[in-house]
Amino acid sequence: MTDTIGRGTRRGGGNKRGRRGAGGGARTVAVKRAAPVVREPVSLPPVMSVAELADILETSGIEIIRELMKVSIMANLNQQVDYETAAKVAEELGWETNEADSAMKSTVADFESRRLENDSDPDSRTRPPVITIMGHVDHGKTRLLDSIRSTNVAEGEAGGITQHIGAYQIESQGRKLTFLDTPGHEAFTAMRARGAQVTDIAILVVAADDGVMPTTREAVAHIKSAQVPMVVAVNKVDLPAANPDRIKQQLSEMEVMPEEWGGDIPFVEVSAKEGMGIDDLLEVLLLVADVNELKANPVKAAQGVVIEAKIDGSRGPVATLLVQSGTLNMRDVVVAGTTWGRVKAMFDDRGKRIRRAGPSSPVEVMGLMEVPQAGDTFLTFEDEKAGRQLAEQRSAQKRVEHLNENRPIKLTDLYDQVQEGKTAELRVIIKSDVQGSLGAIQNALLKLNEDMEAGVTLSVQLAATGAVTESDVNLAATTGSIVLGFNVRPDVAAKRAADAVGVDVRFYTIIYELIDEVKKAMTGLLAPVYQDVTDGYAEVRETFKLPNNDVVAGLYVLDGKVPRNSRARVLRSGTVLFEGGIKSLKRFKDDVREVAAGYECGLGLEGFNDLKVGDQIEFLHREEVARPS
Ligand code: GDP
């Protein structure tokens, strides 16, 4: 409560002055500091390391770390802090701050909003549809893509060598169509998860001899939720066992109603193998495109989405970009995701060098500094400086997001991810007593991975023999893995580290149980079961109001203990008034992690300022309990 005493004076007239003596049990003596120095406000980037912050504030890293500890942040020199945190520290050290690039930020907002203006633009012209193919494995997605491509290459380009750049463009009836050639809904959902709406029309492929399968259902769900127009390609009609009516029946039961049955979904019978029905399919696609009036303005700066990207040994970062509007030109400055660069060379899907690419064209681009991610949006600039700044800004934002996201995963988190329809990856670290069991576990997990439906994958970050150590836990924390121990136990340091960072470490003595639990998590069966566990009880003995109107209470711990990270349940006359997190827990002026029974402490609650003398507070945490099986 009293950590800032004496500091406010340094800023000269700051509102923190009044804090002196505000907290209960304050023993701090106000430190007399030098008279306030009038300085220019410093500008701080959105994210910086502790060392960088120390540099900017012309002080030592230790000083910064000390300040951070006061707000309960344990940091090292390399730790990243966000602007808000850094600003607080700076303020404590007597600096006025502002956020660097705030002027630039509005530029970023301007540019990002360019993305939304499309339809109302009077210069818009009809553009080719961008089409994705989805469906169950072996129903002929790849074959259909190949068949469409080989029979309909644009005039004069036949015979060129097909390059797989993630998308291609063909011509039919003198009009262009763009196909994304990573079939399956992983790519589709991954893009959507990144906020990129790439697809204009989805083709759902169903093999006429096989019918609707689990992945077909999933694909329908994804297409519907993305509200993308759908065309059903009933494939393999050349086979004697083909039964197109059965497909229509099955799909209509899922509210994918064929047009000829009064619905609004076109069904086209095709044979990707024989090249039958392909022209019909293309015609239908063009009709759907017309109905949806797909347009874009070709005469402005290009923007779009990264379809795929890789590092190429001799060419450096190479990205396939789908231009969604505008025209991409050689030498344009491109910002893709968090990277940027000037377009040094462009190629179309036949490997031909091109100088410009208009709306709906896929184009392979060289010249980016780094490899962007599939699904990243891109924008173009004439000016190198603006491009670089935007890339830096995006990269800083991403670091902030990463800071927030980079929390350890639990086996049961996977359940939520699967439920939300996100592609989930379960990363594991396996520690086992002997090589024999390790091999058996690895094989079984590998098998499990192969048997798994799309959507969940398992990746082994480390498999080794020996006890679970602190370094295993650290690896798990940084890679977002869980640790599976077989016939081993953690050493003390590992146990402590796992508790501290919240890594899920599980132990087994029966291989089958290990595999079974992983399998359940992967199939989304392992819903977590929680129960509240009481840590301790305390009573409010006095209350204080801080200058910012927060109320903190002086507590006496009656029973158990009060851990800093537990939840507080405020009870007054036996009824629950409030339940929520702890904002501050102090002994005298120091932040503490825990206070035991028989001691006094100071407590502030997150979002509750109505503590009264005599209130009882129960401290508790949620604990995952074994599921009844
Ligand atoms: P994907 O897993 O959906 O990409 O399916 P593929 O395109 O790899 O096709 C799976 C299998 O079905 C391959 O052996 C194809 O040759 C075959 N296939 C695809 N389309 C047809 C078709 O129209 N008729 C027949 N008879 N076989 C097909």
pLDDT at 226 over 90: no
d(CA 244, CA 247) in angstroms, rounded, equals 5
Ligand 1 and 182: CB distance under 6 A: no
The SS3 assignment for 62 reads helix
156 pLDDT higher than 70: no
Token code pair at residue 165: 């750049």
Distance, in Å, from the CA atom of 515 to the CA atom of 304, rounded to the nearest integer, reads 43
What's the N-to-C CA distance of the chain in angstroms? 47
**CA nearest ligand 1 atom 9, residue:** 140
Contacts of 329 (CB under 8 A, 6+ apart): 302, 343, 355, 356
CB distance 139 to ligand 1 below 6 Å:
yes
pTM for this entry: 0.54
- What tens digit of pLDDT does each residue of 3-13 get? 322 233 333 33
The confidence score (pLDDT) of residue 424 equals 67
pLDDT of residue 366 exceeding 60: yes
Q: Residue 421: what pLDDT?
A: 59
More confidently predicted of 78 and 427: 427
Can you state the angle between helices 511-522 and 435-451, rounded to 10 degrees? 30
CA dihedral sign, ordered 457, 463, 469, 472: negative
> And the tokens for 311?
């590092």
Q: In whole angstroms, what is the distance from residue 261 CA to residue 253 CA?
A: 12
Angle at 585 between CA 581 and CA 587, to 5 degrees: 165
How far, in Å, from the CA of 537 to the mean position of ligand 1?
66
DSSP letter string, 125-138: EE---EEEEEESTT
Query: Which burial class, exposed, middle or buried, applies to 306 when counting CB atoms under 10 A from its CB (0-12, 13-18, 19+)?
Result: buried
**Residue 288's Cα: distance from chain center in Å?**
33
DSSP-assigned letters across all residues of 221-283: HHHHHHT--EEEEEE-TTSTT--HHHHHHHHHHTT--BGGGTSSB-EEE-BTTTTBTHHHHHH
Reported as a pLDDT band with limits 50, 70 and 90, residue 28 is very low
Render pLDDT for 326-340 as a digit per residue (tens, 0 to 9). 999 999 999 988 888
Q: pLDDT tens across 334-358, in order?
A: 998 888 899 999 999 888 899 999 9
pLDDT in tens, 244-292: 999 999 999 988 999 999 999 999 999 999 999 999 999 999 999 999 9
Does residue 504 come out as left (phi exceeding 0), alpha (psi in the -120 to 50 range) or beta? beta
Residue 111 in this model has a pLDDT that exceeds 50: no
Query: Which residue carries 């102090």 as its tokens?
Result: 586
Ligand 1 pocket test, candidate residues 132, 138, 274, most atoms within 8 A of CB:
138
Lowest-confidence range among 309-318, 417-426, 502-511, 608-617?
417-426
Per residue, the 3-state secondary structure of 367-396, as one string, reads EECCCCCCCCEEEEECCHHHHHHHHHHHHH
Query: Cα(197) to centroid of ligand 1, in Å?
Result: 28
Confidence tier at 593 by pLDDT (50, 70, 90): very high
> Does residue 627 have a pLDDT over 70?
no
More confident residue, 250 or 24: 250
Alpha-carbon gap, residue 83 to 97, rounded angstroms:
10
Ligand 1 pocket residue status of 137, Cβ below 6 Å: yes
598 has a pLDDT exceeding 70: yes
Q: How confident is the model at residue 240 (pLDDT cuts 50, 70, 90)?
A: very high
